[in-house]
Structure 1
Amino acid sequence: MTTLFDIPWHFPAGLLIGFAAAAPLGPVNLIVLRRALSGGSRPALGIGLGAALGDALFATVAAFGLGALASLMDAHVVPLRFIGGTAMLLFAVLLWRTHPHLDAPDAKPIPARRVALAVLAMTITNPATLLFFASAVAAVGVENLGHASFAARLNSGLLVAGAFAGSMLWWGVVCLIARQLRGRLTDHHLLLINHAAAALLALFGLAALGSAMQAAGWI
């Protein structure tokens, strides 16, 4: 049985899970790093907020045991992969066509709010993220989650808050890394990073679409 003394440990457990979910190199990391290099920490953190909200949603599913939503996502895994893959490809095209500058804003910058929404869509349309959160919650061994009692609801809320905070903590780390690199880069370096990020995003998108077609039995 979980006591009040045990409840605060759900927040640091969520913090670790959220940090671990955001840290692996992937399309969102590339987007946030690129924006931090060209536009500064504030818009980059705004974009990271979109990913953190997606992580918090999955943490909610894992902590509160929303089996119906999990089943719904599992039943629609193919269209979700198609949506996520298409979003990555479209964003890769937009990213490739931008021409960032270190000392001035892009000529036609993609608004951070729009990018944050795209990042949120990428996050919540990735069923693997839900699997990660479900597995991570089980792995850290936190108990008395769900909505059966006040303590369980509080535990779950603390876990979700920790996951959101952990994800945002990682995006802060990315911004700090970008700040250290910024003075050593030229516009040409930034353009190369931009193109590399766009190419990797396109590869992620193609992989997602290929996975969707395979799941659908088309290939």
Structure 2
Amino acid sequence: MEELIVLVQGIVLGFAIAAPVGPIGLLCIRRTIQHGPLMGFFTGFGAAIADTIYGAIAAFGVSTALSFLRGHETAFQLVGGIFLLVVAVRTFRQRPEDEEREVEPVVDSKTWIGGFMTGLSLTLTNPATIMAFIAIFAGFGLGGTLSRIEASTLVLGVFLGASLWWFTLSMGVAAVRHRISDRGLVMLNHCTGVALACFGLWALGLAVTGMVSMAME
């Protein structure tokens, strides 16, 4: 019974961590509209795997990994910021093709893998994710008090909850994507590109601030 409660807690936590609309959410929405629900889901699924990895580090209290992430937070922010800006420029400049809306798009496995790797990379280069897990675990009284079975169950729940969110989002967007016009797709690309650029600049700003702080110490 206790394991079931922990599993439900993990599902709720995974869903809550994934649900706020950020860079991955914007990419999931855009790619679902332009390439179909599988492409959108795999983009989010990459983020779900990254959330699961960070959730496992927080649940098991892996001190070495935590120290590494905290010690290299500025580097992660720098890489993540640059990556976001590259994705932002490509997204802003991309124009929809008529056939992508007129027929069901054929997406090969390499494209799915590309979406998966984008979601995984962007989430792994955001160390704030693991800090969020640590804070939430502490808030729920889960920090450092779990057995190995309970920690494993919690991590499984995080994976299921995060995956459920991305499945729900991609399926929901897919239900209305054929109603969006070419002009709407262009506006979506522009808005998504600008938003991603803002996230990237924010990450770079944090990285620069961190480097300045270290230089002054």
TM-score by length of 1: 0.88
2:102 equivalent in structure 1: 103
1:206 equivalent in structure 2: 201
Partner of 1:216, secondary structure, is: helix
Counterpart pick for 2:25 among 22, 26, 29: 29
Partner of 1:183, secondary structure, is: helix
Using the alignment, how far apart are the partners of 1:156 and 1:127 within structure 2? 20
Partner of 1:158, secondary structure, is: helix
Deviations 1:30-76 (A, max 9, x none): 00001111111111111111000100011101110011101111001
Per the TM alignment, residue 143 of structure 1 is displaced from its structure 2 partner at its CA by 7.1
1:141 equivalent in structure 2: 141
**1:46 and 2:45 matched:** no
Q: What are the residue-to-residue correspondences of 1:150-169 with 2, within 5 Å?
A: 152-169=147-164
1:88 equivalent in structure 2: 84
1:57 equivalent in structure 2: 53
Query: Aligned AA for 2:129?
Result: T
Residues 144 and 155 in structure 1, CA contact (< 8 A), matched pair in contact too: no
2:167 equivalent in structure 1: 172
Residues 40 and 115 in structure 2, CA contact (< 8 A), matched pair in contact too: no
Per the TM alignment, residue 15 of structure 1 is displaced from its structure 2 partner at its CA by 0.5
Greater helix share, 1 or 2? 2
Counterpart pick for 1:185 among 176, 180, 186: 180
Partner of 2:95, secondary structure, is: coil
Query: Aligned AA for 2:101?
Result: L
Per the TM alignment, residue 179 of structure 1 is displaced from its structure 2 partner at its CA by 2.5
Using the alignment, how far apart are the partners of 1:155 and 1:192 within structure 2? 46
Using the alignment, how far apart are the partners of 2:68 and 2:142 within structure 1? 25
2:11 equivalent in structure 1: 15
Using the alignment, how far apart are the partners of 1:140 and 1:103 within structure 2? 48
Using the alignment, how far apart are the partners of 1:52 and 1:142 within structure 2? 20
1:149 equivalent in structure 2: none
Deviations 1:83-107 (A, max 9, x none): 100110111122123222422559x
Using the alignment, how far apart are the partners of 1:195 and 1:167 within structure 2? 27
Where does structure 2 lack aligned partners over 5 or more consecutive residues? none
- Indicate the larger mover: 178-187 or 39-48: 178-187
Aligned-pair Cα RMSD in Å: 2.0
Aligned-pair identity in percent equals 32
Query: Aligned AA for 1:133?
Result: F
**1:121 and 2:121 matched:** yes
Per the TM alignment, residue 145 of structure 1 is displaced from its structure 2 partner at its CA by 4.8
1:196 equivalent in structure 2: 191
Per the TM alignment, residue 212 of structure 1 is displaced from its structure 2 partner at its CA by 0.4
Using the alignment, how far apart are the partners of 2:102 and 2:31 within structure 1? 13
